[in-house]
Amino acid sequence: MQYTIEELRAKGAKIRADFPIINDTYSYLDNSATSQKPRQVLDAVRKYYEEENANPLRGLYDLSVIATERYEDAREAVRKFINAKESAEIVFTRNASESLNLIAYSYGRNFIQEGDEIIVSVMEHHSNMLPWQQVAKAVGATIKYLEPLKDGTLLPQALEDIISEKTKLVAITQVSNVLGCLNDIKSLAAIAHKNGAVFVCDGAQSVPHMKVDVQDLDVDFLVFSGHKMLAPMGIGAVYGKKELLDKMPPFLYGGEMIEYVTLEGATYAELPHKFEAGTVNAGGAVGLHAAIDYINDLGFDFIEQRENQLCEYAYKQMIEIPHVHVVGSNNPDNHHGILTFTVDGCHPHDISEIMNAYKVNIRAGHHCAQPLTKWLGLNSTTRASIGFYNNEQDIDRFIECLKQIRGKLGYGE
Amino acid sequence: MENNRSFYNEILTEHNVNPYHKTDIKDANYELHGVNPSCGDEITLKLKVDNDKIVDAGYVGDGCAISQASADMMIDLVLGKTKEEALRLADIFFRMIKDEISEDELEELEEAGALQDISHMPARVKCAVLSWHTLEEMFECK
């Protein structure tokens, strides 16, 4: 549904009250780093630990059976949320980084060989770059880097140009955590498949903000973190196509991932448990379930429209400020709430320090995407990232402060 | 906002915006690169030492106002000093950051004393001490 601007503001004001940490003294604009948590999520985690906690998947008593149900209900909620075919294709991890390491170790090191190629884009977060560099080193494969246009657009043709029959895996983010651009994952995955490669999609910045359908995109793997989508820290997931997960060896070895163990070896449990060694984060999974329910109740129509509206509101004011440069597209609709910028002569750490004094929370540095920052010809940048529970006042405070940065740092205008 | 105004004071911003010593020293006989890997501040410190005395000094680099201004103020202070005197000043500077110095010692640091308040900003300490650590390492290694 299409909301009017008044409806967006009214609904925004109402749901803002769901977030205990959010108030009018602070402008929290570091949502790409981690989101804040609504009371509904915090209550669900508390209820789990107060009323339903036991070690899932082990005990034969009622409480453990309930804990197991809650944990598996969460898996089913994730399955539905990203439209996977079956819940066995959802493996819980700590976060997107661990998810990517799981794929790199279990799939990469076993199915990529010497002389093969891996393609990643230069805009990847370190967590979708370093695991692949390590795989390449370990097996003797080569990494090829896919370059976007300067505004962040990744043309499918650019992938066509560098992919070859040696390419075994392509790993690309859906939304860049620096540029905010949305990549055409469906086309990119189709090109990978046409060339016999598997496609890994980093959904850390997209899954919290838009409907992501793994069957429609036809990706082989998708990863995301719960903490960026209203859930507690320490819960994340890997989606993998069943036929791939089935042939992969376990990532971590230990408790509750076995079928049968002898002193000589073991046979491993069925999916997804073969990838979930040790006691799982059931409380986190319950929190993620509550976060998904919250997002579904709110609807992506509202989330996307409110975030885009606030993003455009900020962008239009930023580009009017002398010496301020927004990195990436000059169309605010291509930023998905992520506004990375530089201020002439001002280092991001100083900008962030001054913003902090104004109670504006933003991120400074290379945002765990150092190669991209370098590729853009920059040293480091500052990033404001918007969540649907932000409001116009948060943006106004940020803009007011941004106007004063150069003066504070001793530049007379 | 008060806190912040006092921290980015005129001394600091002046050394950052108009540094006196941000220049390459062609005939330097001491040179060392210092980096804060976590935040990307970097400087290359170059000194010309003659008869144990620092006769010329400069730095090139890139980083936040604190890291760059601190390097500039440090060079102001150590120019004309012996290695031993410079290391003693480094020791005072490090103790200033830990909030462990006397008024007299603070006087000795001259403009570098403008960074005293950094002791209350743990996240920025590494920026302020980068040039001083580079200097210390340079003398202790050679």
The tens digit of pLDDT for each residue in A130-142 reads 999 999 999 999 9
Helix axes B125-141, B65-78, angle to 10 degrees: 40
pLDDT for residue A259: 66
Nearest chain B residue to A368 by CA: give it: B38
pLDDT for residue B120: 83
Q: Is A189 helix (H, G, I), strand (E, B) or coil?
A: helix
Give the pLDDT confidence of B48-102 residue by residue, as tens digits: 999 999 999 999 999 999 999 999 999 999 999 999 999 999 999 999 999 899 9
pLDDT for residue B3: 46
Q: Chain A to chain B, count of Cβ pairs less than 8 Å apart? A: 52
Over residues A54-82, the mean pLDDT reads 91
CB contact under 8 Å between A408 and B4, yes or no, is yes
Query: Which helix (H) or strand (E) segment is A351 a member of?
Result: helix A348-357
pLDDT for residue A108: 96
**Residue A409 contacts B, CB cutoff 8 Å:** yes
One-letter amino acid of A65: V
One-letter amino acid of B9: N
Over residues A4-26, the mean pLDDT reads 96
A186 to chain B, minimum CA–CA distance in Å? Answer: 35
**Residue A295 contacts B, CB cutoff 8 Å:** no
List the one residue out of A29, A13, A152 whose CA is nearest residue A402: A29
Q: How far apart are CA A23 and CA A342, in angstroms?
A: 27
Burial of A263 (0-12, 13-18, 19+ CB in 10 A): exposed
User: Do B17 and B44 touch, CB atoms closer than 8 A?
Assistant: no
pLDDT for residue A393: 97
Give the pLDDT confidence of B8-17 residue by residue, as tens digits: 888 999 999 9
Q: Which of B3, B10, B65 sits opposite A347 (nearest CB)?
A: B65
Give the pLDDT confidence of A276-334 residue by residue, as tens digits: 988 999 999 999 999 999 999 999 999 999 999 999 999 999 999 999 999 999 999 99
Which is higher by pLDDT, B6 or B101? B101
Give contacts of B1 with chain A, Cβ < 8 Å.
357-358
List the one residue out of A239, A235, A214, A215 whose CA is nearest residue A225: A235
CB contact under 8 Å between A345 and B63, yes or no, is no
- When the pLDDT of each residue in chain A is averaged and rounded to a whole number, the result is 94
CB contact under 8 Å between B5 and A408, yes or no, is yes
Q: How far apart are CA B99 and CA B82, in angstroms?
A: 26
Nearest chain A residue to B11 by CA: give it: A410
CB contact under 8 Å between B40 and A366, yes or no, is yes
Q: Is A307 helix (H, G, I), strand (E, B) or coil?
A: helix
Over residues A259-286, the mean pLDDT reads 84
Model confidence at B124, pLDDT cuts 50, 70, 90, reads confident
Q: How many helices, marked H, and strands, marked E, lie in chain A? A: 15, 15
First to last CA, chain B: 45
Give contacts of A348 with chain B, Cβ < 8 Å.
64
CA dist A7 to A4, A14, A294, A316, Å? 5, 11, 19, 21
Model confidence at A260, pLDDT cuts 50, 70, 90, reads low
Over residues A144-165, the mean pLDDT reads 94
Query: What part of A 315-374 touches B (C-beta under 8 Å)?
Result: 345-350, 353-354, 356-358, 365-366
Query: Which helix (H) or strand (E) segment is A192 a member of?
Result: helix A185-194
Cis peptide before B122 (omega within 30 of 0): no
Could you write out the DSSP letters of every residue in A68-122? Answer: HHHHHHHHHHHHHHHT-S-GGGEEEESSHHHHHHHIIIIIIHHH--TT-EEEEET
CA dist B8 to A267, A280, A348, A406, B22, Å? 63, 47, 14, 11, 19
Q: How many helices, marked H, and strands, marked E, lie in chain B? A: 6, 3
Q: How far apart are CA A26 and CA A274, in angstroms?
A: 44
pLDDT at A158 over 70: yes
* A100's tokens: 């990517």
Q: How far apart are CA A282 and CA A45, in angstroms?
A: 9
**Residue B66 contacts A, CB cutoff 8 Å:** yes
**pTM for this one?**
0.88
Query: Which helix (H) or strand (E) segment is A224 a member of?
Result: strand A221-225
pLDDT for residue A379: 81
- Per DSSP, A48 falls in state I
Q: Which residue in the list A181, A311, A346, A368 is annotated as catalytic?
A: A368
User: Do A204 and A367 touch, CB atoms closer than 8 A?
Assistant: no
Question: In this structure, what is the dihedral angle of CA atoms A53, A55, A58, A60, given to the nearest 10 degrees?
Answer: -30
Over residues B107-122, the mean pLDDT reads 89
Model confidence at A413, pLDDT cuts 50, 70, 90, reads low
CB contact under 8 Å between B64 and A345, yes or no, is no
CB contact under 8 Å between A410 and B14, yes or no, is yes
pLDDT for residue B1: 40
CB contact under 8 Å between A357 and B1, yes or no, is yes
**Residue B3 contacts A, CB cutoff 8 Å:** yes
**Residue B110 contacts A, CB cutoff 8 Å:** no
Nearest chain B residue to A412 by CA: give it: B17
Over residues A203-217, the mean pLDDT reads 97
Which is higher by pLDDT, A247 or A57? A247
Which is higher by pLDDT, A263 or B78? B78
* A245's tokens: 């997960």
Q: How far apart are CA A172 and CA A161, in angstroms?
A: 16
Q: Note if A401 is an active site residue.
A: no
Strands B42-50 and B53-62: antiparallel
Q: Where are the alpha helices (H) located in chain B, listed in sequence order?
A: 2-7, 10-17, 65-78, 83-97, 103-108, 125-141
Model confidence at A380, pLDDT cuts 50, 70, 90, reads confident
CB contact under 8 Å between B8 and A365, yes or no, is no
Q: Which of A347, A353, A408 sits opposite B63 (nearest CB)?
A: A347
CA dist B35 to B41, B72, B127, Å? 6, 16, 9
- When the pLDDT of each residue in chain B is averaged and rounded to a whole number, the result is 90
Over residues A60-67, the mean pLDDT reads 87
Over residues B32-42, the mean pLDDT reads 84
pLDDT for residue A65: 87
Q: How far apart are CA B115 and CA B93, in angstroms?
A: 9
Q: How far apart are CA A60 and CA B55, in angstroms?
A: 79
- Sign of the dihedral defined by the CA atoms of residues A76, A78, A82, A86, in that order: negative
The label of the residue with tokens 């969460």 reads: A74
Burial of B14 (0-12, 13-18, 19+ CB in 10 A): middle
Sheet holding A221-225, edge to edge: A90-93, A236-240, A221-225, A198-202, A167-173, A117-121, A142-146
Over residues A349-362, the mean pLDDT reads 94
Which is higher by pLDDT, A150 or A167? A167
Q: How far apart are CA A123 and CA A120, in angstroms?
A: 8
Q: How far apart are CA A129 and CA A364, in angstroms?
A: 20
Report all structural domains of chain B as residue ranges with CATH numbers, in order of start. 2-141 (3.90.1010.10)
ipTM metric: 0.73
